[in-house]
Amino acid sequence: MGDLRATADAFVTMAHRIVWATAATVDVDGRPRTRILHPIWEWDGTELVGWIATSPQSPKRADLDAHPSMSLTYWHPDQDTCTVDADVEWVLDDDGRTQLWDRFANGPEPVGYDPSLIPPWTSPTADAFGGLRLTPRRLRVMPGSVLLTGQGETLTWRA
């Protein structure tokens, strides 16, 4: 359903402008949990992949080990919203963590940042540093104009 190219282009543009997303997981007892995360998205024209730098020592580790899925929603005060439902894989090997570190350290503004700004993340191979690879199953992009004026188009794509 929907055109991946148009939806992914609009999603990355909006997500990278907003930067911070509310991310939901489900804990081992089936209860939802949310937190604010800072993903970076890569769209090569055929495949969209999301990356999140995070600690494998965080509570989300148990959530994602039990239910390797995450839903993220971006919201802006102008009522622009975009959502992705994704399958999640941990990035915990040294090569993968180094690539993830570099991806954020050299990422485009405003989503790129120096991971060493987070105190326990002293290097890509620090025990407290790891990451998540997100493979979208569903994307939804709704400009605020759709809600506020009825103008514009909501884009939705499903794998």
pLDDT in tens, 51-108: 999 999 999 999 999 999 999 999 999 999 999 999 999 999 999 999 999 999 999 9
Q: What is the pLDDT of residues 3-40, one digit of tens each?
A: 999 999 999 999 999 999 999 999 999 999 999 999 99
Is the pLDDT at 149 greater than 90, yes or no?
no
86 neighbors 159 (Cβ within 8 angstroms): no
Q: Are strands 32-37 and 21-26 parallel, antiparallel or unpaired?
A: antiparallel
Mean pLDDT of 110-119: 96
Between residues 151 and 129, which one has the greater pLDDT? 129
For residue 36, what are the β-bridge partners?
Answer: 22
Closest CA to 71 of 105, 26, 18: 26
- Quick one: pLDDT at residue 1? 67
For residue 130, what are the β-bridge partners?
Answer: 54
> 5 Cβ partners below 8 Å, 6+ apart?
45
Closest CA to 48 of 11, 93, 95, 77: 11
Task: Indicate the average pLDDT of the chain.
Answer: 96
Domains, the chain, with CATH or none: 4-158 (2.30.110.10)
